[in-house]
Amino acid sequence: MTFNVTADAYARFMGRYSEPLAVQFAELAHMRPGHRALDVGCGPGGLTAQLVERLGADAVTAIDPSDPFVAAIRARFPEVDVRPGVAEHLPFPDDSFDLALAQLVVHFMTDPVSGLQEMARVTRPGGLVAACVWDHAGGGGPLATFWRAVHDMDPRARGEAELAGAREGHLAELCEAAGLKHIEPTSLTVKVRFTTFADWWEPFTLGVGPAGAYVTQLDEARRDVLRTRCAQLLPPAPFEVAASAWCVRARA
């Protein structure tokens, strides 16, 4: 389980991308005061914070299978209803929410179609179901340089390109298979600035997600080879990384 890490490690590795993405993703949801929202795969709360800001803590529910993330988000937002659990088995009655969002989660679901079906079930008819996944397949995601360096060193490494929703159009296909209606695909892009190479590299050593898991199982020599290759592929510091995510908005 690659999300059994501290909220701080997540913030350093992925939060720097997912927090600005959450601002744009929340905008896309066109939520209004009075709406009840569910954040599926909330992590330590990057998107939850946006929902709380727009709707108030009482109107927000969040769920995630990672114990450290559930503990962190409960400490951060004591008034938000936070549950441990997975998208595929949401512990809520039908039609409980006006919107259900999953930011950077569908590709980690064991069964993405049933996860999206569950999101639709707990959303009232006509309510919004939305999801986004980094463009890992098209090389537009935040980890593109990392996986390119890995594949230069180890062409058989799996990477994240084949995960659900990571290629153009696949999120919409999954939504269609889940029976969602009025499916609208789009994409979002964020830019993150790094002042030094170490600022970019160190978070990969914290064991977060598939990339972190890949680095932590390398011996020191292989890790050095990978770090050197990444440094060769990146521009000289300071530099900016643009990260794009495939998104879909649909109706339950």
Ligand X SMILES: C[S@@+](CC[C@H](N)C(=O)[O-])C[C@H]1O[C@@H](n2cnc3c(N)ncnc32)[C@H](O)[C@@H]1O
Site residues (vs ligand X, CB under 6 A): 3, 14, 18, 40-43, 46-47, 64-66, 69, 86-88, 103-105, 108-110, 115
**Shortest reach from residue 140's CB to ligand X, in Å:** 16
Query: Closer CB to ligand X, residue 110 or residue 228?
Result: 110
Please list the residues that pair with 203 across neighbouring strands: none
Cβ-based nearer residue to ligand X, 117 or 229: 117
Tokens describing residue 175: 């939504």
Residues 6 or more apart whose Cβ sits within 8 Å of residue 220: none
Closer residue to ligand X in complex, CB, 86/229: 86
Closest approach of ligand X to the CB of residue 176, in Å: 20
Residue nearest to ligand X as judged by C-beta position: 43
The least CB distance from residue 14 to ligand X, in Å, is 5
Q: Which helix (H) or strand (E) holds 189?
A: strand 181-194
**Separation CA 202–CA 186 (nearest Å):** 32
Do 25 and 2 touch, CB atoms closer than 8 A?
Answer: no
* Shortest distance, position 66 Cβ to ligand X, whole Å: 4
Cβ(214)–Cβ(146) under 8 Å?
no
CB of 232 to ligand X, least distance (A): 27
In the bound state with ligand X, the residue whose beta carbon lies nearer, of 205 and 225, is: 205
Task: Report in angstroms how near the CB of residue 109 gets to ligand X at its nearest.
Answer: 4
Could you give the CA distance from residue 141 to residue 138 in angstroms, rounded to a whole number? 8
Tokens of 157: 């490494």
Q: How many CB atoms neighbour CB 126 within 10 A?
A: 10
Give 162 or 224: the residue with its C-beta nearer to ligand X.
Answer: 162
Structure tokens at 188: 């979002």
Q: Give the number of residues written for the chain.
A: 252
Measured from the CB atom, the residue of 16 and 35 that comes closer to ligand X is 16
Q: Which is nearer to ligand X, 14 or 229 (CB)?
A: 14
CB of 228 to ligand X, least distance (A): 27
| C-alpha distance from residue 176 to each of 25, 95, 97, 112 (Å) | 20, 19, 20, 12
Show the CA angle centred on residue 15, arms to residues 22 and 136, nearest 5°: 80
